[in-house]
């Protein structure tokens, strides 16, 4: 799932990518059908939609011209994460073989390739403040890379059973969520662990910062809101009937959730 302006793009197990108009609260006519499930989505410049498929294909759609401008297989084990750096014009691509590519969105070519380790590169974040890229991997590590070169800076073991979710809070703390159901905090500079506690009864699939809080989504079907200051739970939502797979911030007042139950949840923050 990814959001660009008023449009939400979602991928489904029925081999389709759909677009939703959040202002009208309805699906519009934009649909992409494929032979393999789409498992990662990201936009660039509000013009291009990048789609990573389970079979390892990367497809780029020009949304203005409504045509495919790039389609190539990068890793037979799949493309699991995408993240755009508008300053370097790079799309970071995390694959099932533990590789990260720096892909130029100017000429649609691979500029950088680095192997992180064993297993999937499940989550990639771009930190514009530090000009670094963070990657969470299936083997339990978190990597920090130089955003321009993808050169390895640091790495550490975060969750023994694998890391699925990452975010950076404004208070300079990296928060990770693992297959172990734990939420952990890491000081952004020293990388020392600042907290660790059981948050869910299943894999934590996504994390998102909100106003004075952060939100977690899990395979246990729940969404939880946590106070940033004392880490106490503020609310638990049981709207979804199956695994909650992704969260995305719509604006300062609302966010969106998607689930295996084929439902989209639109949530607003209360004062």
* 181-224 confidence digits (pLDDT tens): 999 999 999 999 999 999 999 999 999 999 999 999 999 999 99
- 168 and 87 in one domain? no
* 31-73 confidence digits (pLDDT tens): 999 999 999 999 999 999 999 999 999 999 999 999 999 999 9
Query: Environment class of residue 35 by beta-carbon count within 10 Å: exposed (0-12), middle (13-18) or buried (19+)?
Result: exposed
Phi/psi at 199 (nearest 5 deg)? -115, -30
pTM for the predicted model, two decimal places: 0.95
Residue 54, domain member (yes or no): yes
- Final residue before a domain boundary, out of 119, 150, 169: 119
H or E stretch including 78? none
Judge whether residue 118 has pLDDT over 80: no
Judge whether residue 271 has pLDDT over 90: no
The percentage of the chain sitting over the pLDDT mark of 70, rounded to a whole number, equals: 100
Give the integer Cα–Cα distance in Å for 194 and 58.
Answer: 37
Judge whether residue 97 has pLDDT over 80: yes
pLDDT at position 164: 97
pLDDT at position 195: 98
Q: In this structure, how many other beta carbons lie within 10 angstroms of the beta carbon of residue 219? A: 19
18-23: Cβ within 8 A, 24+ apart: 20/264, 22/250, 22/256, 22/266
Q: In this structure, how many other beta carbons lie within 10 angstroms of the beta carbon of residue 248? A: 17
Residue 129, domain member (yes or no): no
Give the integer Cα–Cα distance in Å for 252 and 246.
Answer: 18
Length of the chain: 271
Average pLDDT over residues 229-253: 95
**Number of domains making up the chain:** 2
Contact status, residue 59 vs residue 41, Cβ threshold 8 Å: no
Q: How far is CA 99 from the centre of its chain?
A: 16
Name the average pLDDT for the chain. 96
- Final residue before a domain boundary, out of 98, 119, 140: 119
Residue 136, domain member (yes or no): no
Residue 75, domain member (yes or no): yes
pLDDT at position 67: 96
Residue 257, domain member (yes or no): yes
pLDDT at position 23: 87
Residue 67, domain member (yes or no): yes
Give the integer Cα–Cα distance in Å for 195 and 184.
Answer: 5
- Final residue before a domain boundary, out of 119, 140, 171: 119
- 268 and 186 in one domain? yes
Band of residue 252 on the pLDDT scale cut at 50, 70, 90: confident
pLDDT at position 49: 98
Residue 142, domain member (yes or no): no
Contact status, residue 11 vs residue 264, Cβ threshold 8 Å: no
Indicate the DSSP class of residue 158.
Answer: -
Give the integer Cα–Cα distance in Å for 165 and 267.
Answer: 20
- 2 and 115 in one domain? yes
- 169 and 55 in one domain? no
Residue 14, domain member (yes or no): yes
pLDDT at position 29: 86
Q: Which residues of 115-149 are buried (b: 16+ CB within 10 A; e: fewer)?
A: ebbebbbbbbbbeeebebbbbbbbbbbbbbbebbe
* 147-178 confidence digits (pLDDT tens): 999 999 999 999 999 999 999 999 999 999 99
- 170 and 98 in one domain? no
Q: What is the dihedral of CA 251, 11, 169, 174, to 10 degrees?
A: 180
Contact status, residue 202 vs residue 220, Cβ threshold 8 Å: yes
- Of the chain, the end-to-end C-alpha distance in Å amounts to 27
Contact status, residue 221 vs residue 241, Cβ threshold 8 Å: yes
Indicate the DSSP class of residue 51.
Answer: E
Band of residue 117 on the pLDDT scale cut at 50, 70, 90: confident
| 21 beta partners | 7, 26
| Residues of the domain holding 61 | 1-119
Give the integer Cα–Cα distance in Å for 113 and 115.
Answer: 7
Band of residue 24 on the pLDDT scale cut at 50, 70, 90: confident
């Amino acid at each position: 799932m990814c959001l660009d302006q008023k449009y939400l793009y979602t991928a489904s197990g029925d081999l389709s990518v759909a677009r939703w108009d959040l202002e009208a609260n309805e699906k519009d006519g934009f649909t992409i059908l494929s032979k393999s499930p789409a498992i990662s989505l990201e936009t660039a410049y509000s013009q291009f939609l990048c789609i990573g498929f389970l079979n390892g294909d990367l497809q780029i759609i020009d949304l203005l011209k409504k045509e495919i401008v790039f389609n190539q297989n990068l890793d037979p084990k799949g493309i699991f994460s995408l993240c755009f750096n508008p300053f370097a014009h790079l799309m970071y691509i995390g694959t099932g073989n533990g590789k990260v590519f720096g892909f130029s969105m100017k000429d649609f070519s691979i500029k950088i390739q680095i192997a992180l380790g064993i297993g999937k590169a499940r989550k990639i974040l771009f930190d514009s403040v530090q000009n670094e890229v963070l990657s969470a991997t299936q083997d339990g590590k978190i990597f920090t890379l130089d955003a321009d070169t993808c050169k390895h800076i640091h790495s550490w073991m975060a969750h023994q059973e694998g890391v699925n979710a990452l975010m950076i809070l404004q208070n300079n703390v990296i928060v990770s969520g693992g297959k172990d159901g734990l939420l952990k905090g890491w000081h952004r500079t020293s990388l020392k662990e600042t907290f660790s506690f059981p948050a869910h009864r299943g894999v934590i699939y996504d994390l998102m910062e909100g106003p004075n809080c952060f939100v977690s989504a899990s395979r246990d079907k729940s969404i939880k809101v946590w106070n940033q200051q004392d880490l106490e739970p503020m609310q638990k939502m049981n709207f979804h009937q199956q695994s909650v797979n992704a969260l995305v911030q719509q604006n300062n007042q609302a966010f969106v959730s998607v689930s295996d139950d084929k439902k989209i949840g639109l949530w607003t923050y209360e004062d």
